[in-house]
Chains A and B, each alone.
Chain A
């Protein structure tokens, strides 16, 4: 009795993923190779220790600052914000690329996303975790930070909801929650795989708990795909909103150089730009040291580099637009300020920013360089530096050169600022390094989706 089952088309699950992973044969290979990366190495351990040491330096510097007072940092009124806020914006920015890649590209079904998104997403979560610290440790009285959170209390007082800082609290907390949830949900099936391949009973138990007893059943997959889609849909507007809100910290003030409507788009573009920079910084060593070159192919890097180039162009446009607005505004304060930015006291910072973020990325117009991991890595370092200085240029010169000439000032960070900055990198990389050896750096189940499934006979059907 011949059965007429509909023929099954044997294509990868993701339609638009025309790219293939030629060097990857079957599901088992994916499991083997990805899970293989989890074995700790000496180099990894050394890196982790370095990160932790940096973190400790930062932490002790912060304790000292809390004890002695904020004066030990380099604040120099009228520059009331400094390295901490700069670094805060820097890390929030880093976060964005992760969400962009994992969420937006997911909705767009961009194939090259598959191999890099897990790293990017983890990077997001840890970057936001890092950023979240700074608003607290830059406070004069950090032990009172919880007053910014609306909760019923016996003072009968609530936060001042018109303040951009309260907006920040909501934006950052939401972003942290959603992105970490998103990361975890995506991880569940992979953890299940780890669980099933694990032999050590203890680790098996831990993985078991973390996988929440996931079984890959049809029902689970059915809801999973839905939920994942909606989470992606939720994260997408966050990518745009969070950094817009952060930009309001500046745009809502009337300080010359801050008070500009261009800030939200400008910040978002900058954020994604810096994020992709950081993705390169992270993924390129990983594909090298974990031997995953055949997963993160040059095509993937090429595609990401194109995004990097694009965002760089947007950011560059924003820079120029700022000057043009100031020039045409007829507003004396603005004019003075932007002149000062380019040729005044802070010219050096401005030029670092322009060269790193505007000029160097232009090299990506050449396909050769786009497909050259070494160059991408070097460039990404420049981008990170450049983006840090972008925030420096926004924060410090504006404040040091405000309306009141009598109160014009200068700014010079102290060792405390630098120690805490260093600590933030320690904190970030500590988490990230822990992550890459405990959990798969690539989405196993999604990689499987890219592969053509195993079939008995082309055209299918029984016999």
Chain B
């Protein structure tokens, strides 16, 4: 879908531009920024990230697996060592914990990748290298007929450059 991208120099103007866009029913847009800024998040009013659910589930699975493998393997061939019980839950807590951390954090990473769609093979439209350095950017996906209006809007808020993306 075609659209246009505006590069901003200042944070506040970006924020204002976002606000204006949404008020003018431009809802299909992506904001680029070299660093995470709460101002932007507030302006966009995006739903909270769902990463935490993955983390929780991963953690729980991990803990269970940790305990399970230790206990199951011990009982699989019950050999007595040092007169201790064959399956002892106290030391096995270590496995519960370690595997919880392992699987939990890995699933968090997986969530991050899955939700934010990385790794991706191609650079997408509407991105500009400046956005990883000093500039903020807004990519508005819009039909050709409203493109002009959007461009106006971005410029008004002091976009240093507005470019049309095919």
A and B in contact, CB less than 8 Å: yes
Interface of A toward B, CB cutoff 8 Å: 3, 5-6, 8, 10, 13, 26-28, 31, 150, 156-162, 167, 170-171, 173-174, 177-178, 181-182, 185, 188-189, 192-193, 195-197, 208, 212-227, 230-231, 234-235, 237-238, 241, 245, 445-446, 448-449, 453-457, 460-462
Which residues of A lie under 8 Å from residue B46 when comparing CB positions? Answer: 218-219, 222
Asked if residues A161 and B73 are in contact (CB atoms below 8 Å), the reply is yes
The closest CB in chain B to the CB of A161 belongs to B70
Asked if residues A455 and B41 are in contact (CB atoms below 8 Å), the reply is no
Which residues of B lie under 8 Å from residue A220 when comparing CB positions? Answer: 116-118
Asked if residues B12 and A455 are in contact (CB atoms below 8 Å), the reply is yes
A118–B117 Cα distance when bound, in Å, is 25
Asked if residues A193 and B132 are in contact (CB atoms below 8 Å), the reply is yes
Asked if residues A237 and B44 are in contact (CB atoms below 8 Å), the reply is no
Asked if residues B108 and A234 are in contact (CB atoms below 8 Å), the reply is yes
A362–B88 Cα distance when bound, in Å, is 44
Q: Cβ of B156 < 8 Å from any Cβ of A?
A: yes
Asked if residues B12 and A27 are in contact (CB atoms below 8 Å), the reply is no
Asked if residues B49 and A226 are in contact (CB atoms below 8 Å), the reply is yes
Please count the residue pairs between chain A and chain B whose beta carbons lie under 8 angstroms apart in the complex: 223
A10–B116 Cα distance when bound, in Å, is 28
B89-112 contacts to A (CB < 8 Å)? 91-92, 94-95, 97-99, 101-102, 104-106, 108-109, 111-112
Asked if residues B132 and A189 are in contact (CB atoms below 8 Å), the reply is yes
Q: Cβ of B129 < 8 Å from any Cβ of A?
A: yes
Asked if residues A215 and B123 are in contact (CB atoms below 8 Å), the reply is yes
Partner of B15, one of A5, A160, A197: A5
Which residues of B lie under 8 Å from residue A461 when comparing CB positions? Answer: 12, 16
Contact status of A448 and B111, CB under 8 A, knowing A3-B19, A226-B49: no
Asked if residues B12 and A457 are in contact (CB atoms below 8 Å), the reply is yes
Asked if residues B133 and A197 are in contact (CB atoms below 8 Å), the reply is yes
Chain A nearest CB: distance from B161 CB in Å? 16
Q: Cβ of B30 < 8 Å from any Cβ of A?
A: yes
Contact status of A230 and B108, CB under 8 A, knowing A192-B132, A217-B31: yes
Asked if residues A225 and B36 are in contact (CB atoms below 8 Å), the reply is yes
Chain B, residues 42-63, CB within 8 Å of chain A (1/0): the string is 1010101101100100000000
